[in-house]
Amino acid sequence: MAHQARKDLVKFIAEKATLPAVAGGVGWVVVDEMFRLHVEASTYLDSLRGRHCSWNTERNYASRLALYLTWCSERGLNWADPGFDNLLRFRDWLVSTPLPTRGRKSSAGPRFRKDGSADAVLITLTEFMRFGVGPGWVTDAVVSTLSQAKYLTHLPAGYAPGEDGRYRTVEVRTLKFRSEDPGIECFTAEQVDLMIRMARNARDRFLIMLMRATGMRIGEALGLRREDLHLLPDSRLLGCAEPGPHLHVRRRTDNSNNALAKSRKSRTIPVTQAVIDFYWDYQYERDQVDEAADCGMVLVNLFRAPLGRPMSYPNAKQMFDRLAKWADIVARPHMLRHTAATEWIAEGVPEDVVQDLLGHQSPSSLKPYLHASPSRKRAAVERVAAVKR
């Protein structure tokens, strides 16, 4: 029988809030429709800030928790102990319920959440429930249903099983989706050129070229400060011994736009002359806006209030959304990072160098980029065939 929502119960939403103890003064919380705080969910989000998770991670987790809490509220369930059968129903509901329409109704029919997106909700839910054991919100009995022991017959590359195979048995989630890996999404060179041509201004063109050439994450790019750019052939006068034009990626937790480098380890990335040329075009554009003169961040608002303030992730996402619509392509900031990494690997750049450029802590993080593209497979076959002639 189809579920009928209980109208007398509350709906929860993710909301930005002023939090004096947070760098930048703003964080995410979960509230009901009367803006009453959901203490447990908001405490968990505070723990993410304590772990220096990014602004986007916090925002996504807040939305996922609000979704789960609303689902429980509509059904009169205790979120901390809904019963595993109901958690399975929640899992199925995630992919069987149409998503809200965006703007005008589309003739393409209803949209549904993909398995990968649904699994991200379940990951957040599982972590939240496990966190709840410490403060006593959730019992050990409930959390024990969220994982089960699994023996690793085939070990992942680099995994140490320990003496007598003691680490071969691991805990895996029971609440999950099995979804096929969609692979790494990249741009073609033509698509990157098209986005640069269609960008409205020099700042946006510089951001695209910067991420394409360096493989930086969007949070790292938005967190750059002027002092991080060493674009001269020799930076020794700046107290930096790194040779050639380059930039520094540094993790800071006090950026007013909440931009955060994911890796805690600082790194340097060489930059090309093309990046430098796009930067000087942007700098000329920036110099025309008096409000931007005193801001130490590299990327700032130049075209809408508040002028001179650091560019935020929502600003960047809106820019990519516009380009995707105009160019009729899929365009997300992270795809520029994927593009850079995939092409470095394809051109034979050593894996340890690619790992350092991307700021990965583990060599296993490169695995998604090591796929064999159709062109590389064909080249390999034709190369062998040419030798045998």
pLDDT of residue 389: 62
Task: Provide the phi-psi class of 109: left if phi over 0, else alpha when psi is between -120 and 50, else beta.
Answer: left
pLDDT at position 56? 81
pLDDT of 263 reads: 78
Q: Which pLDDT value is given to residue 380?
A: 73
Closest CA to 303 of 285, 280, 284: 285
Task: Give the model's pLDDT for residue 2.
Answer: 44
SS3 for 182? coil
pLDDT, tens digit, 9 for 90 and up, residues 227-273: 999 999 999 888 899 999 999 999 888 888 888 887 778 999 999 99
Amino acid 1: pLDDT: 38
Q: What is the largest CA-CA distance in the chain?
A: 79
Q: Can you give the residue ranges of every domain in the chain?
A: 12-99+112-152+168-173, 189-368
pLDDT of residue 156: 60
- 342 touches 192 (CB < 8 A): no
**pLDDT score recorded for residue 269:** 96
Domain boundaries 189-368, CATH class = mainly alpha
Per-residue pLDDT at 27: 85
The answer to whether the CB of 286 falls within 8 A of the CB of 203 is yes
Q: Pull the structure tokens for residue 41.
A: 């969910």
240 Rama class: left (phi>0) / alpha (psi -120 to 50) / beta: beta
Residues of the chain whose pLDDT is less than 50?
A: 1-5
What is residue 244's three-state secondary structure? coil
